[in-house]
Amino acid sequence: MLLSETALPDPTFALVPWVVLIPVIGLLLNLMLGRRFNEKLVGAIASLAAGGSFVVAVLLTLALTRHPEGFTYTVFTWMAVDGLVVDWAFRVDTLSTVMMLVVSGVGTLIHIYAIGYMHSDVRHNGEPARFRRFFVFLNLFIASMMILVTASNYLMLFVGWEGVGLCSYLLIGFWFEKGKDGLGNAKAAKKAFIVNRIGDFGLLIALFIMFFAFGSFDFQTVFAQVERVAQSLPWVLPAMTLFMLLGVTGKSAQIPLYVWLPDAMAGPTPVSALIHAATMVTAGVYLVARSSPLYEVVPLAQNTVAWVGALTAIFAATIAVGQRDIKKVLAYSTISQLGFMVAAVGMGAYVAGIFHLVTHAFFKALLFLAAGSVILGMEHSAEHGAHGHAHGHAEADPQDMRNMGGLRKKMPLTFWVYLAGALALAGVAPLAGFFSKDEILTAAQSFNPTIFVLLILAAFLTAFYMGRQVLMVFFGKPRTPAAEHAKESPPVVTIPLVVLALLSVLGGLLNFPGSHTLGHWLEHTFHTVEEGHFVWAIAGGSLAVALLGIFIAWLIYGRKPQTSPKAHDPLEAPLGGLFQGMARKWWVDEVYQAVIIRPFEVFADFLTHPVDLGVIDGIGNGLGSLTRAFSSLWGRLQTGFVRTYALTILLGVVTVLGYITYLALR
Amino acid sequence: MPLFYYLALSVIMFTIGVIGVILRRNALVTFMSLEMMFNAANLAFVAFAYHYQTLSGQLFVFFVMTVAAAEVAVGLALMVAIFRTKRSIDVDQLSSLKG
């Protein structure tokens, strides 16, 4: 390890490469030697690796309290081409440490949870050998995510960006041979990868423009030149920020590229919690926040970002209302909440966006993990409680909320933590989600009234669908034998849940009105930090909206709980086609299929059959048959008669000699 | 005797050799015709060497004789091998490499 040239303001800053290296060491250990380890050791190594990363992040945070201006730790020069020098350098500042703490902190809890969850999951799916592979991927994800959030330049950030995309692909397709027709999971993984690729393409174009206009990828160098470039090349910044937004919509699952995230639920539940709720999908929010000096000079881009976020928030929230799969509800909820964050950073309310990112990481990870605990309980009883209830087990989907009900009594601890997460997500005071969502709403109110209304509606729907989910899963009476015999999960699963539940309850203290710890902390990184107003009217209004949502959910789902898994949703009759639309995800997948994928396939077919097989192969085959025709023509000269050859040689010699004689005598 | 006689004999021998190679199908006779052509060339060498009173032509004849001897050894061995498989040394039947 090379030491940085410049003096370190604090020796602790030299530890920063270890946030990446420790998970890498963990994954290498498990990769190379894991065959000999038992499950406990594999899980312990992976969890310790994530935990080690967390410890380093905490040390860095402590060092930052003394030197809040931050530090860039250069490890080596990555590439130097002509004027362009790209360093492999880690940026330690208040923003990156917040991300580091969230990623490694929530990540560690999820690693621990996964020891218990994957123990059952690999057996349920019939391949215990994949336990180790799961943790290798998980450590790889932590390492990539750390590269993403600690990068001091856009190119290094892009490495992390692609790394987390790869891990996402690998983990969505973890049970690649399972799913619909044995292809479902593989298709979901492919979809996530390809949709993300479209977004990455946008980010790449933005980076090309950046190289063209700034000649550098370094955050500080680029930000320092924003004024100059904005004047000399006025098209550069709008183009760059909007292409970057395309990258954000891919990674953070915003309209129009959100379609991969619901399908990504094919991955094991800890993956959904870690990658597709708490950390990776927030990379887009982080990117916009990190690029705030670029966005601030382009109001057009800021507006676009805010609108994309707000529309995604309301759109995804409507879909979540109509879902039946416990994880799909949470997936659409994640998209919706990401919409809140993207809207916040678009409006320039960076602290609110990051605050919501942090609290959302707590309660959404909690909800996913608790949902995983519910699924474990359902699967467990479906496997072990089969005697006496022989019929009806095979087809009971352990993720379908219609098959649940009454789990409050069967899985009390899971119920309580789920309730905490759901209330935090719904925005009920004084839980974490209330404060962060409130800040976003306050910012929206002064930014644009339409966006404000959209977000309020989304917040109402959030409370409604979370109420619906909790009531369908935990209240009423068990609707299937699987729910009847569900059992509480083991402590290795429930302890991380309790920790996350505490964080979800207390997360609001991070940026409590009045103290604004997070706001003051982030002040050192952001140019401008919005003032943290606490408007009682908005706070009261959002709380009222949340309670109203929960109350309506209770009116519909709680008063007369359904008794059969086959029963229609009570919303189906009054809403009719509207409910169909929500349940069918507004046919977006079908529209994409018809508008993008089908024409693409037709075009690909055109290129295959007439063009490739016809023209290209025609040229190749034509050359081949031409050569063959010539060769058979010339081949006739080879008669195989030695005497003919002798005669030919004689004639040749006579001709040559005759010519030479002619030349000599001339 | 004038040089012309030697050269005339050499030309006659060479022509007989060429005609033999082209017309005869028996490989042995072809070989003998080849030897005839060698010797026609040798005769011309010797005749010229004598005529110009130099040794190089004589030397070349020795060289041609050694190479011809080696060539005959290889050629006869080939012929024996061909006869063993084909039961014939008719060169017209050795046409399996026809294009």
For A387-397, what is each residue's pLDDT tens digit?
444 444 445 78
Contact criterion met (CB below 8 Å) for A339 and A311: yes
User: Is B79 in the A-facing interface, judged by CB distances under 8 Å?
Assistant: no
Q: In this predicted structure, what is the pLDDT of residue A106?
A: 94
Tokens 């450590």 belong to residue? A139
Facing B22 at nearest CB: one of A636, A638, A643: A643
User: Where does residue A135 rank: exposed (0-12), middle (13-18), buried (19+ CB within 10 A)?
Assistant: buried
Contact criterion met (CB below 8 Å) for A88 and A78: yes
A355: confidence class by pLDDT, cuts 50, 70, 90: very high
Average pLDDT over residues B79-93: 88
Collapsed DSSP state (helix, strand, coil) of residue B1? coil
pLDDT at A520 over 70: yes
Q: In this predicted structure, what is the pLDDT of residue A136?
A: 95
User: Is A639 in the B-facing interface, judged by CB distances under 8 Å?
Assistant: yes
User: Is A642 in the B-facing interface, judged by CB distances under 8 Å?
Assistant: yes
Contact criterion met (CB below 8 Å) for A75 and A13: no
Q: Which of residues 34-73 of B touch A (CB under 8 A)?
A: none
* Residue among A336, A304, A298 at smallest CA distance from A319: A336
Strands A71-81 and A84-92: antiparallel
pLDDT exceeding 90 applies to what percent of chain A? 65
Mean pLDDT value across chain A: 90
What residues contact residue B21 under an 8 Å CB cut-off, 6+ apart? A643, A646, B30, B33, B34, B37
Collapsed DSSP state (helix, strand, coil) of residue A90? strand
Residue of A nearest to B23 (CA): A643
Integer angstrom CA distances of residue A172 from A118, A134, A254: 14, 11, 19
Q: Using the beta-carbon criterion (under 8 Å), do B92 and A647 form an inter-chain contact? A: no
Q: Which residues of A touch B98 (CB under 8 A)?
A: 638-640
Which phi and psi (to 5°) does residue A153 adopt?
-145, 165
pLDDT exceeding 70 applies to what percent of chain A? 97
pLDDT at A372 over 70: yes
Q: In this predicted structure, what is the pLDDT of residue A390?
A: 41
Which of A148-152, A215-219, A522-526, B17-21 is predicted with the least confidence, judged by mean pLDDT? A522-526
Note the ipTM here.
0.86
Q: Which residues of B touch A640 (CB under 8 A)?
A: 94-99
User: Is B16 in the A-facing interface, judged by CB distances under 8 Å?
Assistant: no
Q: In this predicted structure, what is the pLDDT of residue A501?
A: 94
Mutate to test the interface with A, among B22, B29, B33, B96 (most CBs of A within 10 A): B22
Facing A650 at nearest CB: one of B18, B91, B92: B18
Contact criterion met (CB below 8 Å) for A217 and A159: no
d(CA A443, CA A452): 8
pLDDT at A9 over 90: no
* Residue among A222, A256, A253 at smallest CA distance from A236: A222
Q: In this predicted structure, what is the pLDDT of residue A2?
A: 47
Question: Tens digits of per-residue pLDDT, A14-60?
Answer: 899 999 999 999 999 999 998 888 889 999 999 999 999 999 999 99
A6: confidence class by pLDDT, cuts 50, 70, 90: low
Question: Tens digits of per-residue pLDDT, A539-593?
Answer: 899 999 999 999 999 998 888 888 888 888 888 888 878 888 888 888 888 999 9
Amino acid letter, A182:
G
Question: Tens digits of per-residue pLDDT, A621-665?
Answer: 999 999 999 999 988 888 888 888 889 999 999 999 999 999 999
Q: In this predicted structure, what is the pLDDT of residue A48?
A: 95
DSSP A320: H
d(CA A407, CA A146): 37
Mutate to test the interface with B, among A638, A641, A649, A651 (most CBs of B within 10 A): A641
Q: Please tell me the number of Cα atoms within 13 Å of B52 on its side-chain side.
A: 10
Q: Using the beta-carbon criterion (under 8 Å), do B91 and A643 form an inter-chain contact? A: yes
User: Is B32 in the A-facing interface, judged by CB distances under 8 Å?
Assistant: no
Q: Chain A closest CA to B59's CA: distance in Å?
A: 25
Question: Tens digits of per-residue pLDDT, A256-292?
Answer: 899 999 999 999 999 999 999 999 999 999 999 999 9
User: Is B85 in the A-facing interface, judged by CB distances under 8 Å?
Assistant: no
Residue A74 Rama label (left phi>0; alpha psi -120 to 50; beta): beta
d(CA A96, CA A102): 10
Q: In this predicted structure, what is the pLDDT of residue A385?
A: 56
Angle between helices A283-290 and A326-346 (to 10 degrees): 0
Q: Chain B closest CA to A654's CA: distance in Å?
A: 12
What residues contact residue A442 under an 8 Å CB cut-off, 6+ apart? A352, A533, A534, A535, A538
Collapsed DSSP state (helix, strand, coil) of residue A77? strand
